[in-house]
Amino acid sequence: MTYDSLVNHGDYLSAHYLAEVLPKDLKAKEGLLARWAETEERERRAHAAAVAEAKSEGRDPASVPPRTRTPREGLRALHGPYFASRADFARDAEALAVPDAPVPADWTKRLTELHLDTLRALGFDDAHEQTITVHRSGHEHPVQVLHTEPGLIAVPCGWTDEPDAALDPDGAGRLLRPVVLEASARLTDAKALADFLFECDEPPRYILMLVGGVVVLADRLAWHEGRYLAVGLDAALNRRDIRNGGELDTVAALFGADSLRTPEEGGTAPLAGFVDKSGKHAVGVSTELREGLRLSVEWIANEVLARLRDQGVTPEQIDEPARLAKELGRESLRYLYRILFLLYAEAQPSLGILPADDPEYASGYGLQRLGDLVVRDLVGERSRHGFHLYESLDLLFQQVQKGHREFGSEPEDLEAQDADRAATEAEREAAELLAAGAVTRDEYTERIREADRSRKAAARSADVGLRFEPLRSDLFKSDAVRLISADQIENPAYEEGSDLPEFLDTRLRNETLHKVLRRLMLTKGKGRERGGFISYAQLGINQLGAVYEGLMSYTGFIADEDLYEVAKGGDASGGSWMIPAGRVQDYPDEVFVERPHEETGRPLRVVHPRGSFVYRLAGRDRQTSASYYTPKSLTEVTVELALKHRLDQDGTETSAEELLGWKICEPALGSGAFLNEAIDQVAAEYLRRRERELDRRVDPEARPVELQKAKAYIALHNAYGVDLNATAVELAEVSLWLNSMHPGMRAPWFGLHLRRGNSLIGAGRKVYGADALPEGQWLSKKLPLPPTELPFRDGDLPDGAVHHFLLPALGWGAVAGEPEAKKLAEEQAKALGQWRKGVQKPPKWTPFKEREDEPQDKRQARYDKWVEATSKTELGRIQAVARRAEFLWSLVAKRLELSERKVSRRIDVWGADWLEPATEAADKQRVLDDLTAAGTPYWRLKTVMDAWFALWFWPLDRVGLLDGTDAVYGVGEGAFGAVATPVAPEPEREPESAAPSGPAPGDVAWRAAGLFDDPDGEQDELGAAADSDKGLEIKGLRIKGRRATGRQAEIAEDLRRPFIPLQTFADWLDFLELTLGTKDADAGSFLDGLDDLPVDEALPLLETYERSLDGVLGMDSPFKLAERFPWLDAVEDIAGTNERDIKTEDGHGFFH
């Protein structure tokens, strides 16, 4: 039961709990109503006995004290006193609404008496005017109140009979007795006083604000979230619903003394218990919702398949069945995300995402309207097979995505924007005047209020008529659910001029969406209980996260035969398996999963017919991906302790500005539970610290929005996350969006910050020093030398150092040593073992030899030649590659920095006046695509890193790609259909004896070690190679080395093989040089210059710069690399970067 007299602001209690569960809790055997009934009966008997005794003793029965009344009796008795004075107060309120109107002489006294009557009626029998002293930040402050007791304070305000007007700081919400804090500072309204009292040294749990015909109840644990209760006594007393468990009983149970006081026997106050049960009810609903979401995915996917069959199309005609099933499952989830997102947004109209308060929206677009429809059963073929529900949702999706009467498109909007800017400037000026002592605190407060009034007045004039602000979100793009549409799947049978439709119609019929919406919007109810509507505002991000994360390990496929579902004990919650119908007799009855029939309730075995979509939990997938949801109780305390440890280190107080710049990363993202919790706590701490620094408070009514803005800024600019499960990343994006929504916020984009990958496996800036390279200490089987961490903040790469991902690893081809591999594929395991021995070598070089009695000038000349010769050895070349990797890394860092600037979002965070205005990129996805495109520095570094890690996980069936025995290395047709034609013919040789190929063209000074040079430098150099050492400069890029010309270039090209396996370290070195370059470069001055340019100029310049590198630095193009090194195709498969995979998240997802 719900009452219009009750205001459950911000879902202080969940709507379903308040309407359906609370009445049962009140009427329970140990509930408040039963206790009151017992107390009332006991008091009546005692009072009757006292009256009888007085009569028997000859005393006046009126001398017997009145019996103690319960809060519900007190409220029932308040009707007379309240309405006796109501007309006078209403008349006074109308007169006081006129600016500068005088206050009637006895108005404050009369209103105080009404407030005291109300308090006494609620069970606070000793309520009276009094002054209490509160302590805050070492100061004492007197506050006049009407009642105080441990955990509760009651304060008097003005008069109104409308709950919506009760907290108006310029009206009914003004305090009857303003609180003086210091000479120039006063608290004049109830919201400001509540905010102040909750921040005192010993704050109360509850504050009752008496506002004439309205009582507002503020709970310290929910007030700053914009959640509180209010009751319009005017309406409740006028109806006089005195039924057991009726309106007045409910009001008394929520606002009465017995509900707000801790019981004498200990425990928690009943109202706190109601709040706790409300939260637990939401958790229970989330479990039910998770199952509903899983079933809905199956229903939607099967409906799409059924629609295809109805049009004579098989899944194979659309796509390969396994790939189609994967995409169908994902798009079904996306469709459900859309609905969940809008349900959440509609439940919180204050966020401004949907015009949920507009009557036109509620009657024409709202999901609540659809909820009212799905409560009833569908009757008739037309209603079941129609598309009303689909078309209604599709219309809402379009309005949300594209917008309607977008703010700024009409003259009134521009006036409101001007007014908002003027109000902001007035607030800034008032703060400066207050800081300079030019105005008093009261004058400052009045200026702030006047600015806010002008802003709200202009906003009201613009807020006329229905409007949708466009989200422009990837989630709501039409191609995000391509398989669920009427015009996006091409009809394979269509031919121009035929009568067949060009596109297939896969819209969802009412019958399917009716089931889906019932599952998403209604609880089932227990036993004979009536199910109610789910409160998405009360459900919250944490419960939705649990719902999301429960689906991460589910996989979908299209059954190619009739299948029965089985699980241990018949319980599929921990994972299930499918068995063919022909093997049913091989399994005991208790392993079959059963589901109750929708109409009869009779349990039936779960059967998936041939051609149906099956969406099941793979228990092994859940274990390997660690897809388990962390409850809020754990995330909250973990983040709280981490934050406490990180704040105010070394005796230095962390500033709000510093806090707002902190980067937060969740390496096992899931649905973003830890990341959301960290965002919540950092944002809240930011507001607290900034308020302290500015010595002013956020308006409690505006605080929820300001908190959301701070959360949105942190989520968009400072939050990072990684997860191996691609679905998890998509879920986390929705979760972060829901958690940071606020009025005016467009759809966020997390493409640079939330990525798919395995945070446990990836390369970093870890190096081996020059002294560790010659002996190959990192390859020692007994005590392998670990690399040294070298964060970028620690400076440049040391001379001669090499990154760990550039050197052969001890773990390459690890499966070759496993006993199982040797049993299952003996020859291949042996071949892989042989390959390991050939490639796991340190780089070759010859140390400089000292000679006795050698003159210094001759030694120096010989040393110089040795240095030159050493640079051509494997050691020198690998060290040069490390320098080029650093060069490319600097370009990646600069592009990331510019990309962050490009996609940054303008968010007006409260008090953050240091934030610079940002111009948002029109196409944010392009920023990411430009970063990761094939051939970019990012792509080249990632390709090398992926290759290094892929070799650890190399499969036995592809060893031929490494040792050169695969057919792809034969003469003729190449790996990608290209014909390999060397410039000059080469003698054929066996793959295992292949010579090093040499580097990219241009570095003709390269020679195999020992072929032309004595390592000590005694032999002459190739004359032609030493003629020019001028280098090359392109657009500020200095390339060190020699440009090959004429016959030199031909020789360099001749030394290159068209197909290079990975037999030796030399082959690996060829790959590194052709990927990362054969010449050194320095782009320092160029990159520094980009900092002074607008980002829209800097990024195109950097892109042009990067494109010039391939030929100049002697690097192969991406296509050429894939052709020259056929084993790179397997690297892509292993790393999971190959888009041709049926499951895009297949592979290890190395994260660098």
Mean of the pLDDT values across residues 629-644?
85
pLDDT grade, residue 1028 (50/70/90)?
very low
* Residue 262 DSSP label: P
- If you search the block for the tokens 């039963």, which residue do you land on? 34
Quick check: helix, strand or coil at residue 918? coil
Pair of tokens at residue 407: 């703010």
Look at residue 1014 in the predicted model and tell me its pLDDT: 36
Q: Name, of 364-373, 654-663, 732-741, the range with top average pLDDT.
A: 654-663
* Whole-number Å distance between alpha carbons of 901 and 909: 17
As a whole number, the mean pLDDT across the chain is 83
Q: Where are the alpha helices (DSSP H) in 190-262?
A: 190-198, 233-239, 247-255, 257-260
As a whole number of angstroms, the longest Cα–Cα distance in the chain is 138
Rg (CA), the chain: 37
Look at residue 621 in the predicted model and tell me its pLDDT: 54
The answer on pLDDT for 997 being more than 50 is: no
pLDDT grade, residue 437 (50/70/90)?
confident
163 vs 629, higher pLDDT? 163
Q: How far out from the chain centre does Cα 955 lie?
A: 35
Report which secondary-structure segment, H or E, holds 231. Answer: strand 228-232
Pair of tokens at residue 816: 């070759």
Look at residue 921 in the predicted model and tell me its pLDDT: 57
The answer on pLDDT for 1013 being more than 90 is: no
Report which secondary-structure segment, H or E, holds 279. Answer: helix 270-310
Report which secondary-structure segment, H or E, holds 178. Answer: strand 174-182
* Whole-number Å distance between alpha carbons of 1145 and 1138: 9
The answer on pLDDT for 252 being more than 90 is: yes
> Do the beta carbons of residue 177 and residue 123 sit within 8 Å?
no
972 vs 191, higher pLDDT? 191
551's CB contacts (< 8 A; 6+ apart) are 290, 293, 294, 297, 333, 727, 731
- If you search the block for the tokens 């390459």, which residue do you land on? 812
915 vs 514, higher pLDDT? 514
Q: How far out from the chain centre does Cα 993 lie?
A: 53
* Whole-number Å distance between alpha carbons of 470 and 747: 9
The answer on pLDDT for 1018 being more than 90 is: no
* pLDDT tens sequence across 239-249: 998 898 899 99
The answer on pLDDT for 794 being more than 80 is: yes
- Strand 206-212 relative to strand 152-160, pairing: parallel
137 vs 63, higher pLDDT? 63
Give Cα separations from 192 to 12, 433, 455, 697, 760 (angstroms): 20, 21, 20, 9, 49
Look at residue 920 in the predicted model and tell me its pLDDT: 61
* pLDDT tens sequence across 23-43: 888 988 888 999 999 999 999
1041's CB contacts (< 8 A; 6+ apart) are 1002, 1003, 1005, 1031, 1032, 1078, 1079, 1080
Give the residue among 763, 793, 737 at the shortest CA–CA distance from 949.
Answer: 763
Question: Of 382-386, 874-878, 1012-1016, which range is least confident?
Answer: 1012-1016
Look at residue 540 in the predicted model and tell me its pLDDT: 67
pLDDT grade, residue 1009 (50/70/90)?
very low
Percentage of the chain beyond pLDDT 70 is: 86
Query: For 521-569, what is the HEC assignment?
Result: HECCCCCCCCCCECCHHHHHHHHHHHHHHCCCCEEEEECCCCEEEECHH
* Whole-number Å distance between alpha carbons of 1052 and 1070: 13
152 vs 1149, higher pLDDT? 152
Q: How far out from the chain centre does Cα 202 lie?
A: 36
Phi, psi at 837, each rounded to 5° = -65, -35
Look at residue 1035 in the predicted model and tell me its pLDDT: 41
> Do the beta carbons of residue 1105 and residue 1035 sit within 8 Å?
yes
Mean of the pLDDT values across residues 550-554?
74
Look at residue 950 in the predicted model and tell me its pLDDT: 94
Mean of the pLDDT values across residues 1040-1053?
41
The answer on pLDDT for 1114 being more than 90 is: no
The answer on pLDDT for 803 being more than 70 is: yes
Look at residue 425 in the predicted model and tell me its pLDDT: 83
The answer on pLDDT for 657 being more than 90 is: yes
End-to-end CA distance of the chain: 56
Q: For the beta carbon of residue 1114, count every other beta carbon within 10 angstroms.
A: 24
* pLDDT tens sequence across 849-896: 888 888 888 888 888 898 888 888 999 999 999 999 999 999 999 999
List the chain domain ranges: 6-30+69-261, 36-68, 632-756, 802-846+874-908+924-1135
Pair of tokens at residue 533: 């509507």
Look at residue 77 in the predicted model and tell me its pLDDT: 93
* Whole-number Å distance between alpha carbons of 86 and 102: 20
* pLDDT tens sequence across 195-219: 889 988 899 999 999 999 999 999 9
Give the residue among 901, 904, 895 at the shortest CA–CA distance from 929.
Answer: 895
Q: What is the number of alpha carbons within 13 Å of residue 100 lying toward its C-beta?
A: 0
Look at residue 960 in the predicted model and tell me its pLDDT: 93
**E strand residue ranges, 647-712:** 664-666
* Whole-number Å distance between alpha carbons of 416 and 811: 65
The answer on pLDDT for 628 being more than 70 is: no
DSSP string, 1061-1089: ---SHHHHHHHHHHHH-SSEEE-HHHHHH
Q: What is the number of alpha carbons within 13 Å of residue 810 lying toward its C-beta?
A: 12
753's CB contacts (< 8 A; 6+ apart) are 719, 720, 721
Look at residue 530 in the predicted model and tell me its pLDDT: 55
pLDDT grade, residue 1137 (50/70/90)?
low
Torsion of Cα atoms, 963 then 967 then 970 then 972, to 10°: -150
Q: Name, of 277-286, 771-780, 1061-1070, the range with top average pLDDT.
A: 1061-1070
Look at residue 1016 in the predicted model and tell me its pLDDT: 39
Give the residue among 1071, 1095, 732 at the shortest CA–CA distance from 917.
Answer: 1095
pTM of the shown model: 0.72
Pair of tokens at residue 1075: 């990927």
The answer on pLDDT for 193 being more than 90 is: yes
Quick check: helix, strand or coil at residue 412? helix
Pair of tokens at residue 591: 């392993």
Look at residue 1143 in the predicted model and tell me its pLDDT: 44
Quick check: helix, strand or coil at residue 503? strand
Look at residue 5 in the predicted model and tell me its pLDDT: 92
pLDDT grade, residue 616 (50/70/90)?
confident
* Whole-number Å distance between alpha carbons of 232 and 698: 27
Look at residue 977 in the predicted model and tell me its pLDDT: 36
Percentage of the chain beyond pLDDT 90 is: 41
* Whole-number Å distance between alpha carbons of 251 and 245: 10
Q: For the beta carbon of residue 507, count every other beta carbon within 10 angstroms.
A: 18
Question: Of 383-392, 410-419, 809-818, 936-945, which range is least confident?
Answer: 410-419
**E strand residue ranges, 636-775:** 664-666, 719-723, 754-756, 766-768
The answer on pLDDT for 1047 being more than 50 is: no
* Whole-number Å distance between alpha carbons of 130 and 134: 13
Give Cα separations from 378 to 381, 525, 598, 623 (angstroms): 9, 20, 14, 41
Look at residue 1019 in the predicted model and tell me its pLDDT: 35
Question: Of 208-222, 404-418, 1049-1063, which range is least confident?
Answer: 1049-1063
Question: Of 155-159, 247-251, 439-443, which range is least confident?
Answer: 439-443
Q: Name, of 469-473, 486-490, 818-822, the range with top average pLDDT.
A: 486-490
pLDDT grade, residue 734 (50/70/90)?
confident
Look at residue 147 in the predicted model and tell me its pLDDT: 96
